[in-house]
Amino acid sequence: MNQIDLNGRVAVVTGGAQGIGRAVVERFVASGAQVEIWDLDGDLAAKSAAEIGQGVTGVGVDVADYASVESAAKALEARLGRIDIMVTSAGIAGPIHKTWEYPLDAWNKVMRVNVDGTMHCCRAVIPGMIARNYGRLVLVASIAGKEGNPGASVYSASKAAVIALTKSLGKEVADKDIAVNCITPAAAKTRIFDQITQQHIDYMLARIPRGRFLQVEEAAAMVAFLASADNSFTTGSVFDLSGGRATY
């Protein structure tokens, strides 16, 4: 593992109790950062933090509720003085249905978590980053946001919104030492697979030229660079982790 310098940085990883988010937390800690996991499951966040060890805390935060996000951000800034890095890994897949049959309550829930939740986290930390003239935001989108997956229109639309948010926000703070980028991973074997059908899993695998699913450590390696001071010029960009499925 190459060494990324995050020494002295304070990071938040939403959805960091498991999956890609947890791999990012582990990579950040190995790189010298102090990390707080924000997860809807506060007990799991605390358990994961304890397992990872020194330099990590875990708290229950509902990213779909702005008051919850704002309270957690203020508490962390009061305790450690700042938030340098925000990684928005929290997300849900939603059920698999044709668009015209998609349950509206499920549509609303996915959008609340994936889109509103991402915006809430950005809104809560950006003012402090502007005041300090430093910040790194890495928003987790998906290859589905580029290409769309049949049966997963809500998930695809939500991740397309995250891509657009990345591009807009990156331009808004481009005059500061703040970088806003997103990643578009193909599927990785995480608990999100529990939310989707085997048929849909097989479809996603068949679309990946490398012939395998993404490993969470591979995503964490890319996120670690994007969250570092070395990433000082690129902003508003989309970084592919699709195993060759998308080439743009």
Cβ atoms of residues 74 and 68 within 8 Å: no
Token pair of 34, please? 């102090």
Q: Which one of 102, 155, 203, 248 is the catalytic residue?
A: 155
Q: Which residue has the tokens 């939603």?
A: 94
Residues 220-234, buried b or exposed e (16+ Cβ, 10 A)? bbbbbbbbbeebeee
Single out the residue of 1, 58, 3 nearest to residue 32, CA to CA.
3
Residue 155 designated active-site: yes
How many residues make up the chain in this entry?
248
DSSP 102-167: --HHHHHHHHIIIIIHHHHHHHHHHHHHHHHT-EEEEEE--THHHH--TTBHHHHHHHHHHHHHHH
- Residue 104 buriedness (CB in 10 A; 0-12 / 13-18 / 19+): exposed
Single out the residue of 174, 193, 188, 191 nearest to residue 222, CA to CA.
188
Token pair of 72, please? 């957690």
Report, as residue numbers or ranges, the catalytic residues: 155
